[in-house]
Amino acid sequence: MHEVSFEKEKGPISARKNVSRLDVYATSVGKSHKAIHQLASPQPRIAQSSVDKDGTYNPFSTFRFTGSVRPTYPLAPKREVPPHIQRPDYAEDGIPVSENERAGQPPRILTPEEQEKMRTVCRMGREILDAAASHVKPGVTTEEIDEVVHNETIKRNAFPSTLGYRGFSKSVCTSVNEVICHGIPDKRKLQEGDIVNLDVSVYYDGFHSDLNATYPVGQVDDESKNLMKTTRRCLDEAIKICKPGTLFRDIGKVIEPIARKSNCTVVRTYCAHGINSEFHGPPSAIPHYAKNRAIGTMKPGMTFTIEPMINLGTNWDLVHWPDDWTAATVDGKRSAQFEETLLITETGVEVLTAGARRADLYDE
């Protein structure tokens, strides 16, 4: 697949054209991951001696994890979607055909009717994320949260966009502590003091929505509170500049100084993206860091995400677990993310996935 590099001298900062943020990108020069992931394959055979008393196990026991979080298998079977619910084109084989066909084309300008469909599916996404967030507490597994998201989605006659996308086997991404993004829901129980990002995507009436937020699990330390506040502020300030005529590359110019001021850094490997009838469409890569080379200007009728991933400390790089999805910080420090789906209007921007203001994310 073709790669578009936004930076030449500071390492492998690239975003694959027509490859989503759910896809795994190259993390070192000359090294790349499979475009279609292998999560649908049988789970690894584990020696009986490595299985815990409750029947769970770490399938990658020899992998050098960077932090304290470990995968906890076995995973639950792929959840079923009733046959009457409309599916995206990748639901069966994982290949987003229409998304691939639109690679390299200009961003779509949605008609008023299409914009209204985006409003509907984005409201659904917010309702589903809020429902999932209400279950975040110590002792709950991320797999239980996946079940909530799945059931809330199909209850609305909608399809969870991540389910089957390029081989992803779950209805939500759950990323805990040092996991930056694309964490696979499993049997690990959330622990007091954790932070967890819930990334919800919904497909309804031919259109997708995409949003996420990071939540505290019980009482968290001040460093984690500051990280979540900083990440939300990065998103809020970036949204403020969105209007007709704004350059997509200017989003990163707003975000990076905010992160640095709080002794944090911006993840560069994953970017925001266009979204409408395609889960990930043009503009296919909207970086969150400054001095990027993204092309394009915002115009009325465009819909896209902004979704900064912010790490504690100064290291923006990441490593992928052997599942080929889970991306974690290289130093084991925590990471947070917030995301909204936006519509550019004639006079400014509409946050289609807007939710209630969280008091824990603001000082005032």
Q: Is 84 annotated as a binding-site member?
A: no
Specify if 225 maps to a domain: yes
* DSSP annotation string for 139-157: T-BHHHHHHHHHHHHHHTT
Q: Is 114 annotated as a binding-site member?
A: no
Q: Is 288 annotated as a binding-site member?
A: no
Residue 151: pLDDT above 60? Answer: yes
Specify if 275 maps to a domain: yes
Provide the pLDDT for residue 320: 98
Provide the pLDDT for residue 360: 97
Specify if 2 maps to a domain: no
Provide the pLDDT for residue 14: 32
Crossing angle of helices 142-155 and 112-133, rounded to 10°: 140
What does DSSP say about strands 173-176 and 14-16: parallel, antiparallel, or unpaired? Answer: unpaired
| Range(s) of the domain holding residue 152 | 111-351
* Residues belonging to the chain: 364
Tell me the pLDDT tens digit for each residue of 162-185.
999 999 999 999 999 999 999 999
Provide the pLDDT for residue 103: 86
Other beta carbons within 10 Å of 257: 13
How far is it, in rounded angstroms, from Cα 53 to Cα 46?
14
Residue 140's contacts (CB-CB under 8 Å, 6 or more residues apart) are 189, 190
Q: Is 54 annotated as a binding-site member?
A: no
CATH number of the domain where residue 171 is located: 3.90.230.10
Structurally, the chain folds into a number of domains equal to 1
Residue 113: pLDDT above 80? Answer: yes
Q: Is 182 annotated as a binding-site member?
A: yes
Specify if 177 maps to a domain: yes
Specify if 301 maps to a domain: yes
Q: Is 307 annotated as a binding-site member?
A: yes
Specify if 85 maps to a domain: no
Q: Determine the residue type at 339.
A: E
Using an 8 Å Cβ cutoff, are 235 and 306 in contact? yes
How far is it, in rounded angstroms, from Cα 276 to Cα 343?
10
How far is it, in rounded angstroms, from Cα 341 to Cα 95?
23
Specify if 329 maps to a domain: yes
Q: Is 331 annotated as a binding-site member?
A: no
Provide the pLDDT for residue 166: 97
Specify if 24 maps to a domain: no
